[in-house]
Amino acid sequence: MENHIKIVTENRKARHNYFIEDKFEAGMVLKGTEVKSLRLGNANLKDSYARIVNGEVFVHQMHIGAYPFAYYGNHDPLRPRKLLLHKSEIKKLYGKVNEKGSSLIPLRVYFKGGKVKITIAIAKGKRKYDKRETIRKRDEKREIERARRNY
């Protein structure tokens, strides 16, 4: 049986602002209205980050919009959400995040086999000249492809 993946949201700015070093897939502890809202695509990863607190990983500033059909008991859109990882993965994350300049950034939220998953990455911030270099390389690659198609 294949796992069907439905992407809910992606953090497109992450690849522009950070060098992605290592990726991890994690489950999320969510309330019912959050899952229903995610099924509608009401999520945003802009300015979100993950943090390790007391041996547990939490994602902060991830916005999951309120479920429009809930009468009462709706969730707080910006509450910290616990991520489900193995202890060995958390130890690996903790060791790498304590290096200078490293941080945990969520890259995408998706449904895999009916479960909500999140991909988090260990990332190092790019400087302004690194961003310019990336843009320049992308433009050069685009020009080469354009020239190749014309001949």
* Phi, psi at 112, each rounded to 5°: -130, 110
Domains of the chain, by residue range, sit at 5-126
Residues in CB range of 146: below 8 A, 6 or more apart: none
Q: Summarize pLDDT for 110-148 with one digit per residue, the tens.
A: 999 889 999 999 988 888 888 888 889 889 999 999 888
Q: Summarize pLDDT for 61-118 with one digit per residue, the tens.
A: 999 988 888 777 788 888 999 999 999 999 998 888 888 878 899 999 999 988 999 9
> In this structure, which amino acid lies at residue 105?
I
- pTM, full prediction: 0.80
Return the structure tokens found at 132. Answer: 């310019």
How far apart, in whole angstroms, are the C-alpha atoms of residue 119 and residue 94? 16
Q: Summarize pLDDT for 16-41 with one digit per residue, the tens.
A: 888 888 899 999 999 888 898 999 98
CATH number of 5-126: 2.40.280.10
CA atoms within 13 A on the CB side of 35: 12
